[in-house]
Amino acid sequence: MSMGQSDQPSRRELPLFDFDYRHDGVLYEATWSPIDAELFAPRWTGLYEEYGSDEQANPRLTYAINNGFGEAALAVRLLAWALTEGRDRAVIPSYYRDEAARELGRSAESTDFVRWQYEVGCDYRDPARGDIGFVEGRAGVPIRPKPTEFQAAHAGEAGVFRIDSFEQLTKVHLAVSGDASSEVSVFGLHASQERFSDLLAGLRLERRPSLDDLLAEGELLVHTGLDHDGFGLSSMVVKSPTDFEALLGAVTQRVGSAFDAYLRAVPSVNAWPDWFAAVETMERAALSPLR
């Protein structure tokens, strides 16, 4: 299917990522929310056209973006992935735990269940105000038909999933993308089974865990909250016991430059193959040589 040339501007007038960086006395913290409320609008007009059923040619199934939530969402995920490069990644999707397992090709029964999950409420333009911290986990279960015994037993628990590819992170975001807002926490841990086991143990405590007790030096939490209704309330919160300001600067520059290059290419995109090629170029530029 051929599309007309995009009438979207070729450049952003506002920065893609402009983080506030601070040390709260215990952890280093960076928070971001979009300056431009229209940031997540699709940039290529072809995204408003009909999609094919082939997963490899469907932007929603491949990149978790569509005609209502555009290419900047991919840039946000690329940033979360790049910030945790070189570490083992464990993710917690908000609410849609079993859907995430299904998207990852795993059984719900194989999930590592935990009592606590991180939350940043999508109610404030300043994510620091909405940074609630750990809350008791919960997952969606059906009302009709009646939930199974397994579903009922684990309704009050979150799920932790180890992932090892950016494509898997995209699938987790796809699983949670059907609601007005979504949240995904990515823990970047030192590469060892022991550290993953430590994380699970901390998230299974009776008492509310403290993030500084869960993260070792050099580890990070990257929490992304996405507002799918277009109110400009999306956010990212990054925390670590180690100063990561230099890493943040390098990675935001890399991902921002990749997104800028994509925007410059958009006016020349006329058909789906061109668009997929442009998005793949953006992904490679954002993650290379990190990938």
Q: Any bridge partners for residue 161, and if so which?
A: 91
Peptide bond into 145 cis (omega under 30): yes
The residues pairing with 239 across neighbouring beta strands, listed in sequence order, are 29, 221
Q: Token digits for 60?
A: 């929603």
Q: Where is 132: in which H helix or E strand?
A: strand 131-136
Other beta carbons within 10 Å of 216: 15
pLDDT of residue 4: 39
Q: What is d(CA 78, CA 142) in angstroms, rounded to the nearest whole number?
A: 32
Task: Tell me the sheet residues that pair with 119.
Answer: 133
pLDDT of residue 52: 72
Give the separation between CA 243 and CA 248, rounded to whole angstroms. 10
What is the reported pLDDT for 230? 67
In Å, how far are 48, 78, 82, 275 from 272, measured between CA atoms? Answer: 12, 21, 27, 5
Answer for the pair 136, 115: CB distance below 8 angstroms, yes or no. Answer: yes
User: What is the pLDDT at residue 127?
Assistant: 78
**C-alpha torsion angle, residues 104, 106, 109, 113 (rounded to 10):** -40
Cβ neighbour number for residue 31 with a 10 Å cutoff:
21
Let me know the angle formed at the C-alpha of 200 by 195 and 205, rounded to the nearest 5 degrees. Answer: 125
State the pLDDT at residue 1.
36
Tokens found for residue 119: 């939350």
What radius of gyration do the chain's Cα atoms show? 19
Contacts of 54 (CB under 8 A, 6+ apart): none
Looking up tokens 């997104």 gives: 259
pLDDT of residue 8: 41
φ/ψ (deg, to 5) at 91 = -115, 150
The residue to which tokens 């954002």 are assigned: 286
Residue 75's closest CA among 40, 38, 112?
A: 40
Q: Is the dihedral of CA 150, 151, 157, 163 positive or negative?
A: positive
At residue 194's C-alpha, the angle toward residues 190 and 199, to 5°, is 75
* Total residue length of the chain: 291
| Single-letter residue type at 166 | F
Residue 130 one-letter amino acid: G
Question: pLDDT truncated to tens, each residue of the chain (291 aa)?
Answer: 334 344 443 334 456 899 999 999 999 999 999 877 788 999 999 999 888 777 778 999 999 999 888 999 999 999 999 999 999 999 999 999 999 999 999 999 999 999 999 999 776 667 777 889 999 998 988 778 888 888 888 989 999 999 999 999 999 999 998 887 789 999 999 999 999 999 999 999 999 999 999 999 999 999 999 887 766 678 999 999 999 999 999 999 999 999 999 999 999 999 999 999 999 999 999 998 654
Q: What is the pTM of this model?
A: 0.91
pLDDT of residue 123: 66
pLDDT given for residue 232 in this prediction: 66
Classify strands 112-114 and 235-240 as parallel, antiparallel or unpaired.
unpaired
Q: What is the C-alpha separation between 52 and 181, in angstroms, rounded?
A: 25
